[in-house]
Amino acid sequence: MDKRTQKQPTYGNVPQPIRDDGAGATDFGPRDVMRDLENPDMLVPPATDAGTIPNLKFSFSDTNMQLNHGGWSREVTVRQLPIATTLAGVNMRLTPGGVRELHWHKQAEWAYMILGRARITAVDQNGRNFIADVGQGDLWYFPPGIPHSIQGLEEGCEFLLVFDDGNFSDLDTFSISDWFAHTPKDVLAANFGIPESAFAHIPTEQRYIFQSKVPGPLESQKVPDPYGTVPKSFTHRLLAQEPIVTPGGTVRIVDSTNFPISTTVAAALVEVKPGGMREMHWHPNNDEWQYYLTGTARMTVFAANGKARTFNYRAGDVGYVPFAFGHYIQNTGDQSLWFLEIFKSDRFADVSLNQWMALTPQELVENNLHVGPELMNALRKEKWPVVKYTGSPQEG
């Protein structure tokens, strides 16, 4: 018989679900210690957590990889993260020369280049074309129904795609090879005015991603267009954009005001330095879909009526915050935390708790919260999206 109740074994740094106040108990049963180490605030929630809030986290590492010659893809949609109804994400890698074939979607496609370089092409409904090279920190946006392609350049590339529908799947798109494969050859011949024999070797199914050679210089790939190019650029250099700088980090906001074509997706690229925190705030326009690029973080989400839950995040994770829920994102590591806040909206909007309090009559705030001058004198009328604090994050 196991006599653990008489003498508990020592497990070194293995975490146990026991809070500093003594709440909880040891866990000697089957468990995934590595998961517990990655999620300290889920194993030992802060005493302020309460109520039932659904899961607001899913890792791309837990998704299925679609492997092809030329690259891979994986996705987080409402099927993996049921709460995420407004947006879906696809993480994709293309080899040098690897091609995401000519295709289009029912949904708008917003993209962030994580690394490397790629060439994108598109043609709009008025026959105006767009061919451009994109690199790390660049964005693109294709409205619904606009046909396009993506190809890795000399170093290949990796990027995040975001679609304005949580039910989206990248494996359910309109691909040119798929359409050809499912159209009678006599119809193809009639459409293009050439013999059926010209279609003898077309693919028999969707190619999706395939390997090709690295394309030549951009100028050599330009296609003269009698209708001109698209009036609004499909790309935006987000990293080249001047950031909002605060003591705790930086923020770059992009929406239809500075990226006019992006009418259904708005975003912020946030850097939180060690000892910093994305301030307590909420968004008054839509749910927030997050993608963590580097570092580690914790986020507590407040859902009203005594409900709050804390989650831990790291690079490659997707986070989600339902509309109007209060939250913060705290850097829990020793390197800068970088993440994207993304919204199904034409405009980025947030409400700062600090600023709200600072612009409200002082006596009203003091009576509401039973606080005094120490807090009131610290309030700021100017919004600081990222703040720097003293002390280290508390995990219990």
109 is in an annotated binding site: yes
Task: Return the DSSP state at 173.
Answer: S
Query: CA 23 from chain center: how many Å?
Result: 35
Query: What three-state secondary structure class fits 154?
Result: strand
Task: State yes or no: 236 annotated in a binding site.
Answer: no
Q: Does 201 belong to an annotated binding site? A: no
The answer to whether the annotation marks 327 as part of a ligand binding site is yes
The 3-state DSSP class for residue 188 equals helix
288 is in an annotated binding site: yes
How far is the C-alpha of 238 from the C-alpha of 81, rounded, in Å? 27
Closest listed residue to residue 317, CA positions, set 335, 342, 296, 345: 296
Residue 138 identity (one-letter amino acid)? D
Task: Give the whole-angstrom CA distance, residue 267 versus residue 270.
Answer: 10
Q: How many helices (H) and strands (E) does the chain have?
A: 8, 24
DSSP structure string for 24-36: B----SS--HHHH
Are 363 and 337 spatial neighbours (Cβ–Cβ below 8 Å)? Answer: no
Q: Are 98 and 159 in contact (CB under 8 A)?
A: no
Selected catalytic residue, list 341, 363, 374, 382: 341
Distance between CA atoms of residues 324 and 345, nearest Å: 14
341 noted as active-site residue = yes
* Structure token digits, residue 131: 């061919």
Closest CA to 296 of 257, 337, 265: 337
Cα(198)–Cα(187) distance, integer angstroms: 12
91, amino acid identity: N
CA dist., res. 243 & res. 72, Å (int): 32
Among 212, 251, 289, 261, CA closest to 384: 251
Residues whose CB falls within 8 Å of the CB of residue 88, separated by 6 or more in sequence, listed in order: 75, 76, 77, 78, 162, 163, 165, 166, 167, 168, 169
Active site residues: 341
List residues forming the annotated binding site for Mn(2+): 103, 105, 109, 148, 281, 283, 288, 327
List residues forming the annotated binding site: 103, 105, 109, 148, 281, 283, 288, 327
